[in-house]
Structure 1
Amino acid sequence: MDFQGFQHIFPPAVLILIAAGLIFLSWAAYRKFSSIPPLSRWGLISLRASALIMILLLLLNPYFYSSQEIELKPNIAVFLDNSESIGITKGDYNGLQTYKELLNTLDFESRNIADIQFYSIGETVSEFNPDSLNASITQTNLSDPINAVLEMEEQVQAGVIISDGIITFGRNPSVNAFNSSIPLYTVAIGDTSKVRDISVSNVLTNATGYTNTNHIIEAEITQSGFANNTVTVSLVSDNETLDTQEVSFETDDQLKQVSFELELTEPGLKQYDIRIAPLADEWTQSNNNRLFTIDVLDSKVKILHVAFEIHPDIKAIRSIIQQDESNELTTLTWLGGNRFVEDLPEESDFNLVIVHGVPNTQEVFPFLEDLENTPTLFFELSTSRINRVQNQNLLELINKRNNQASQITLNQLLEADEQPILELPAINLADSPPLYSPLRTELSALQSTALFSINYDGLNTDFPAIAVLEQGNIRRSHVLPWGWYRMTQSTNPSQREFVIALISNIVSWTSSDPDNRLLRISPSKKTFSTAESAILNGSLQNERGDPEGDGIIEVELETEAGESRTFNMENSGNGNYRLDLPRLSEGLYKYDAVARKGEREIESQSGEFLISNSSSELTNTIRDDELLGAIARNSGGRFFTYQDVSTFWDSLRTANVLETQTQTIENYSFPVRSVYWFVIVLLLLGSEWLLRKYYSLP
C-alpha cells in the first residue's frame, strides 16, 4: 500500500506551523507542573501532542493506494431455441434427441475454460436451464437475442445462438448483428430438406372489431411441391363454414393470399378458423388451419367534431381522429347562422363532442344543448373572437387573463404513470414547432388537472395550457394552444408521432367512461396455444381505493361444454394477483372472478380467452442456414451446423475469445474512514487522563 498524499489545500509551511503550535500548546499545558517527575511530565506532553497531531493528520485526510491483478475466465452467453419447430423429427434430424446430443457434444457446463450463462429463445429472451429443454414455445423471435447481446456486450466476450433460424415473430436480426462488438457464433439445428406441404402461414386482421361493421380477414397460403393444384380455403366458426375461396397454384413454391369479408353482429370474443382442405401426400396436415380471435366490441366510439372557424388545425385534428378505426367521426363545419357544410346529425347520442373554436355570433345550436351529460373536448383557435360558445362554462377548464397570443412551446407537468394521456413518445418539446396561446392563464376549477403548462421564450411557467377534468362519469378536456398542424407536417418523425399520440390519447381518455372498478382481471393475451399455460393477471383495491393485499380472488373457469373448475389467484403483493393455469385443451374459456376479504365480497368480473391448437411454428420447417450464417458473418463470428461442431471450441480459441482476462482491482484507503485511528486517539487521551489522575492534576 503506497502513501499518495493528503486531500487539502494548505501549503506545507502552514501545516508545519500548525503542528509546531500543537506541540507548543501541549508543552505549555504541563510546563508549570514541577511537582511531578520530569519523565512523567514529558510523557503527558507526548501523549497530548501525539493525540492532537493524529487528529490534525486525520483532518487533512491522507489516503493510500494499492492494486491487485486477478485472472478472470471469459463470459459466454448461450441462447437455446426452445420453440416447437426444433422438436420436429424430419430427415436426419431426430428432434429433441439430436438437440440434446449436440449439447452433450459441445459440453458447455463441464468445460472449465469459460463462465457460461444460458438463455432461452422464444417471444423474448429469459434465463434458462438446458435441462428444461422441451420444444414448447409457440413463437421464435431471433431479434431479441441480438438485442440482449448488445445490452450485455461489456459483460460477455461472445454469444452462441443454437437455433433453426425459423422466425415467426419480430424483425430480421441479421442487420442488427452489424452493431455487435462481440462475435456471435451460430449453430444450425433442424433439417433443410423440402417436403410436399401446404399451410396457412399467416392470418392478417385487426384483433378488435365492432358490431354492425364488415371485418376484412386476409390469409396467406403457402405451399411447396403442389404445382398445378387447386385447394379450397374456408372461413369457419363453431364448425359452420361462413365462406370459401378456391386457390390455384402454378409453381412448386408459391404463396397466395385470400380475402374474406365478415359481418360482425354480436359483441364478445369470437373464435374463427382458416382451414385448407387436405391434399394427398402432404407431409403434415397439422398446419392446414390457423385459429384466430376477434374481440368484437359493441359499436364504435361516436364523436361529433364541430368547427366554428377555418383553420389548418381542423383538418389535422380530424385526420388524427379518423386514423383510429374505433372512432366513428361526424363533422360539422360552420358557415354562419344555423348553416353548416354538412347536414345536421339526426342522432344526439355521442360519446364525445369536440368543439373547435367559437362562433362570432350568439347562436343556439341543438346539438350543444345537453353537454352536462356528454364528455367534451374544447380546442381553442384564436383570440380574435370574444363571443362565447353555447355552454362554454362546461367546455372551459382554463381561464384566460388576456387575449394576446404569443408563440409558445409546451412544458409537461406530470409523468406517464400519473395520467394515461401522457403515455407519449419521448421528444424535446423545446425543439418542437411553436404553438400559439395567450400567456396568462389559470384553471377555472380546483378539480381540474393541468397536464402541460406554457413555456415562453425558453422559460417554464405555471400557466396551464392543456387541462382535464373528471367528475363522476363525465370527463372533459380543454386544449388552449393552437397551431398543431405545424407539428403534423414536421419533417421530424418523432414530432409527428408525438402529436398524433397526444391528440389520440386526449380523445380516447375523454370519450371513455372512468374505470372505477375495484377488481381488474385480464388474460396476459387473448389467445394461448395448447403448448403453453394461460396466465390471468389481476389487481384489487379496497373501497377506499388503496391496494388490497389481503384479499382472496376465486376464479371459476368454464369450458364450452359447460364444465367448470375453480382456482385461487396467487397474491403477488401490493394489490397484484396472478393465476398460472394448467395447460388446457383447445377451445374458448370463460372465467368469473370474485374478490373477497373475510366474509365481505368486494367485486366480481368476467371475461374470456381462447386456447388454440394451431401454431405458426409448424408452418415452415426448413432450417434457415442463410439467416444464421448472416448473423455470424455480420458480427465477426462463425456459422456451424449440428452435424459438424468439431472445430467449435478451436474457432473460439483462435479468435481469442477463450483467453483469460486480466483485471486490475484498485483500492484506495482513507484512514479517516476507519474507526481504528480514532480508537488510538481515544487511547492516547485516555492514557493522559489516567496519568493526570495518578498525579492528582486538575
Structure 2
Amino acid sequence: MSTQDILLIILAGIIALLLALFQYKYKTKSALKDNALFVFLRFFTFFSVFLLLINPKFEQNSTYTEKPNLVIVADNSASISHLKQNEKEFEFISQLKENQKINDKFNVGYFTFGNQLNTSDSLNFKDQQTNLNKVFRDLSEIYKNTTAPTLLISDGNQTIGSDYQFSANNYKQPIYPIILGDTITYADLKISQLNVNKYAYLKNRFPVEAIIVYNGNETVTKNFTITQNGKVVYSKTITFSKDKSSQIINTTLPASSVGVKSYQAQIVPISTEKNKINNHKNFAVEVIDQKTKVAVVSTVLHPDLGAIKKSIESNEQREVSFLKPNETLNQLNDFQLIILYQPSNSFKQLYEALEVQNKNKWVISGVKTDWRFLNSVSKNYNLEITSQTEDYQANLNQNYSNFIVDDIGFESFPPLKSNFGVPNFSVPYQSILNKTVSGIPTNEPLLATFETNGRREAILFGENLWKWRSQNYLNDQSFEAFDAFIGKMVQYLASNQRKNRLTVDYNSFYNGSDKIVISAQYFNKNYEFDATENLNISLNNKDTNQKISRPLILKNNSYQVNLNGLDAGDYSFTVSSTTDKLSSSGNFKIIPFNVEQQFLNANVTKLQQVATNSKGQAYFIDNTSTLADSLLSDNRYQPILKTNKRVVPLIDWYYLLFFIALCLALEWFIRKYKGLI
C-alpha cells in the first residue's frame, strides 16, 4: 500500500468520525447513552464508504510447491518391433507408471514419436519414419524455462530430419537415453543409399547411383544386380574387405517406353547375415516424352531469379532458361510459359509477340518495374503510379479455386516490396494471395490469375520471393513446400486445358514410407468451388483385386484422403461425386520399402553422446535397475517452493459491502427499537 493511500485512509477516518459526532452529538443535542453506539456504527459506515472510494490495493501472497517434470518419450516406429524390442519397451513404461516414488516426486508426462511427437502413452509401432530432430525441437517449446529431465526410450536410429544431436543440445534438459536394440556387431552387407531421379525422358538414359556398405572383417565377393520385372538389366561383381568397406556403383539405364518403370537393386547377402531386408531396395522412374520449358525474361539482376529457377527445376520435368527480351523473340515457340520479371520499355516487342501468339505469361513486378510502360501494354490490369514503395505481407485466399493451394505459412513469410498503389482489373480474376499492410488484411490482390481468350496469365505485385523460399527452409528445414507451390503455379500457367469440374491431384508413384495423400477439387456448374459435395474414392489393387472405398474430407479449399498403410502394388482409382455423378480416374504405384527395417543395431554411440552433452546418463534397456534411484537422489530435481504475489483492490473485497449493510441495518433496528424513528 502506498503512502498516499495511508494518508487518505487516515483522513477518511477523521472525516468519518467528525460526521458521526456531528450527527449524534452536536445535531441531536441529547445525552442518550445509546448515542455512543450510534456514533460507533455511523463511523464505520462512513469510513467503509470512504475506503471504497479510495480503493487501496493490497498485496496478497500465496505459496505453493511445484514438482519438477519427468518427460518420458517412447519410440513408436516400426524399427522397434523389427529389432524385437517392443515387449521390453512396454514393460519398462509399465514399471515407471507403477513406481509410486517417481510419481510422487515428478509431474510425469508421456509422449510417443515417429514422424511426429504425440502426447500419448499408447504404442503400436506402426510409424514408418523417425524424426528425433523434431522431437527435441517440439519438447524445447513445451518445457521451456522448466526443470524436465527426459527419458528417451529409443534405438536412436533416425530416418528423416536433421541430425538430432544439435537439437538435443539446444533442448537444455538432462537426457537419459534408454537404449533399445542389440549392440553385438554382425557381419552385414547393405545398400546404404540409392540415388535416382524421379523422372526420365523417353529414349534417354537415366543415372542410378548405389552406395553399398560392408560391416565385417573377412574378405567377401558378391554380385550386385538391378532387375526389372525379373530381368537383369545391370550386374557387377564387387569385393569387400575390412579396409574396403564401401563401394559406390554408378550406371545408366535406358528409358525405352513411357510410364512408371519399377526396378529392384540387390546385393547378394552373406550366408550368416542377420538382417537381409537391407540387401535390396526397390525404386521407380516415371518416363515422360517431353519437358516443360519455361523462359525467365529479365533485364535486372536479382536473387529472385535464382530462387525461381531452383523452385521450378526442383521437378525434373521442367527446365528454366534465362533470356533477355530481344533473345526471346525468336524462341517463343520453344517455351510453354514466359515469366516476365520486372518488365520495362525494353520488353515492348516481346509483349507484342506474346499478344500475337496468345502465349501464357506470368508477370512479376517490383520496385524496378516500369509501370508506365506496363499500364500502356496491359489491357487487363493497371496500377496507380506513385513514387512510393510499400512492404506487403501475404494472406492466403481460401476460396481460390483454379488449383489446390496449400497454406505453407504465407502469413509468416517476410513482406514483398512493391510500388505503392491499388491494382485495378478490367477482366474477372481470382486472387491467390491478398495484401496485408502493417498487420491489417486487405482485399487487394498480391498474386492473382485470370484467363482471357484461352490464355492464362498471373501477376505478382512484389519482389523478394527469395526471402519466402529461405523462410520456408527456416520453418520446415526444407524448400519442398515453397517449391511445390511455385510448381503448381507453373503447371497451371503452362497449360491451356479447359478446367474440369472435378480435378484430382496425385503422384504417379509413392515409396512405401511416403505420406500418400490424394487431393481433389469439385466445382459447381458456374465453376465455383463447392464445399458441400460428398466425394468418395474407390481403389483397386491390381495385384490382389482388393477393393477399398473411402470418403474424402474437406480441408480448406480441397478434399483430401490419406492412404497411408496401403500395401505395395499397382492401384487404379476413381474419385466420384454424389450429386452429379462426376468422376475422375487414375493410376499410381506404391513401391515396397520400409526404411525402419534397414537397421540392424541401436545407434549406441550417438545416444551416449547425447546423454554426455546434456549431463544425463545412458542406460541399456536390460540394465535400468538404478535409473529410478538416480532420478530420486539427484539434487537437480528438487521441488521448488514458489510464491504467487497478487495485487488485490479493496473494491473486489465484497465482504466490505456486507459490513456496510450490517452497520446500517443494526443502526436502524436499534433506533426503531428505541422509538427514535
TM-score by length of 1: 0.73
The answer as to 2:268 corresponding to 1:283 is no
- Say if 1:368 and 1:539 are closer, same or farther in 2 by CA, change over 3 A: closer
- Say if 1:367 and 1:184 are closer, same or farther in 2 by CA, change over 3 A: same
Residue number in structure 1 paired with 2:75: 81
Summarize deviations over 1:595-622 as a string: whole Å, max 9, x none: 44xxx24865556665454322232312
What are the residue-to-residue correspondences of 1:236-255 with 2, within 5 Å?
A: 236=228, 239=229, 241=231, 243-252=233-242, 254-255=245-246
Question: Partners in 2 of 1:613 and 1:499 — Cα distance?
Answer: 26
Question: Partners in 1 of 2:320 and 2:73 — Cα distance?
Answer: 49
What are the residue-to-residue correspondences of 1:133-172 with 2, within 5 Å?
A: 133-151=123-141, 152-172=143-163
CA shift for structure 1 position 654: 4.3
- Say if 1:359 and 1:36 are closer, same or farther in 2 by CA, change over 3 A: same
Q: Is the Cα–Cα contact under 8 Å of residues 122 and 141 in structure 1 kept in the other structure?
A: yes
Q: Secondary structure at the match of 2:213?
A: strand
Residue number in structure 2 paired with 1:337: none
Q: Secondary structure at the match of 1:512?
A: helix
The answer as to 2:649 corresponding to 1:662 is no
Question: Partners in 2 of 1:453 and 1:222 — Cα distance?
Answer: 53
Question: Partners in 1 of 2:581 and 2:672 — Cα distance?
Answer: 75
Question: Partners in 2 of 1:173 and 1:140 — Cα distance?
Answer: 11
Query: Which range moves more in the overlay, 682-691 or 653-662?
Result: 682-691
Question: Partners in 2 of 1:188 and 1:144 — Cα distance?
Answer: 19
Q: Is the Cα–Cα contact under 8 Å of residues 5 and 54 in structure 2 kept in the other structure?
A: no
What are the residue-to-residue correspondences of 1:311-390 with 2, within 5 Å?
A: 311-313=300-302, 317=305, 320-321=308-309, 324-325=312-313, 326=315, 327-334=318-325, 340-341=326-327, 344-345=330-331, 347=333, 350-354=336-340, 356-359=342-345, 363=349, 367-370=353-356, 374-379=360-365
The answer as to 2:238 corresponding to 1:234 is no
Residue number in structure 2 paired with 1:116: 108
CA shift for structure 1 position 10: 4.6
CA shift for structure 1 position 638: 1.2
Q: Is the Cα–Cα contact under 8 Å of residues 524 and 537 in structure 1 kept in the other structure?
A: no
Q: Secondary structure at the match of 1:203?
A: strand
Q: Secondary structure at the match of 2:282?
A: strand
- Say if 1:18 and 1:576 are closer, same or farther in 2 by CA, change over 3 A: farther
Residue number in structure 1 paired with 2:379: 393
Higher helix share: 2
Q: Is the Cα–Cα contact under 8 Å of residues 219 and 239 in structure 2 kept in the other structure?
A: yes
What are the residue-to-residue correspondences of 1:553-632 with 2, within 5 Å?
A: 553-561=535-543, 563-569=545-551, 583-596=565-578, 600-601=579-580, 604=583, 606=585, 610-632=589-611
What are the residue-to-residue correspondences of 1:384-463 with 2, within 5 Å?
A: 391-394=377-380, 397-401=382-386, 410-415=390-395, 423=409, 441-445=421-425
Question: Partners in 2 of 1:149 and 1:167 — Cα distance?
Answer: 17
The answer as to 2:622 corresponding to 1:643 is yes
Question: Partners in 1 of 2:652 and 2:261 — Cα distance?
Answer: 68
Q: Secondary structure at the match of 2:330?
A: coil
- Say if 1:471 and 1:612 are closer, same or farther in 2 by CA, change over 3 A: closer
Q: Give 1:229's aligned amino acid.
A: T
Unpaired runs of 5+ residues, structure 1, are 335-339
Question: Partners in 1 of 2:339 and 2:178 — Cα distance?
Answer: 59
CA shift for structure 1 position 565: 3.1
- Say if 1:466 and 1:96 are closer, same or farther in 2 by CA, change over 3 A: closer
Q: Is the Cα–Cα contact under 8 Å of residues 271 and 588 in structure 1 kept in the other structure?
A: no
Unpaired runs of 5+ residues, structure 2, are none
CA shift for structure 1 position 412: 2.0
Question: Partners in 2 of 1:289 and 1:332 — Cα distance?
Answer: 45
Question: Partners in 1 of 2:556 and 2:435 — Cα distance?
Answer: 30
Query: Which range moves more in the overlay, 586-595 or 318-327?
Result: 318-327
Q: Is the Cα–Cα contact under 8 Å of residues 368 and 390 in structure 1 kept in the other structure?
A: no
CA shift for structure 1 position 636: 0.4
Query: Which range moves more in the overlay, 214-223 or 521-530?
Result: 521-530
CA shift for structure 1 position 61: 2.7
Summarize deviations over 1:85-142 as a string: whole Å, max 9, x none: 33346xxxx64344445556x544333333332222322222332xx44443332333
- Say if 1:210 and 1:666 are closer, same or farther in 2 by CA, change over 3 A: farther
CA shift for structure 1 position 632: 0.5
Summarize deviations over 1:32-77 as a string: whole Å, max 9, x none: 9969996888877776664443233123333444444444443211
Summarize deviations over 1:499-525 as a string: whole Å, max 9, x none: 999999678637635998887877899
Summarize deviations over 1:413-455 as a string: whole Å, max 9, x none: 43357797995696876xx9xx8x8x66442437787966999
Which among 164, 167, 171 is matched to residue 173 of structure 1?
A: 164
Q: Is the Cα–Cα contact under 8 Å of residues 321 and 504 in structure 1 kept in the other structure?
A: no
Q: Give 2:536's aligned amino acid.
A: E
Give the root-mean-square deviation of aligned CA atoms. Answer: 5.4
Query: Which range moves more in the overlay, 365-374 or 420-429?
Result: 420-429
Q: Is the Cα–Cα contact under 8 Å of residues 348 and 367 in structure 1 kept in the other structure?
A: no
Query: Which range moves more in the overlay, 364-373 or 655-664?
Result: 364-373
- Say if 1:640 and 1:504 are closer, same or farther in 2 by CA, change over 3 A: closer
Question: Partners in 2 of 1:453 and 1:186 — Cα distance?
Answer: 46
CA shift for structure 1 position 579: 5.7
Percent of residue pairs identical = 18
Question: Partners in 2 of 1:574 and 1:564 — Cα distance?
Answer: 31
CA shift for structure 1 position 354: 1.9
CA shift for structure 1 position 250: 3.1
Question: Partners in 1 of 2:347 and 2:60 — Cα distance?
Answer: 84
Q: Give 2:621's aligned amino acid.
A: Y
Residue number in structure 2 paired with 1:58: 52
Which among 174, 178, 182 is matched to residue 187 of structure 1?
A: 178
Residue number in structure 2 paired with 1:474: 456
Q: Give 2:574's aligned amino acid.
A: D
The answer as to 2:210 corresponding to 1:222 is no
Question: Partners in 1 of 2:360 and 2:119 — Cα distance?
Answer: 50
CA shift for structure 1 position 411: 1.2
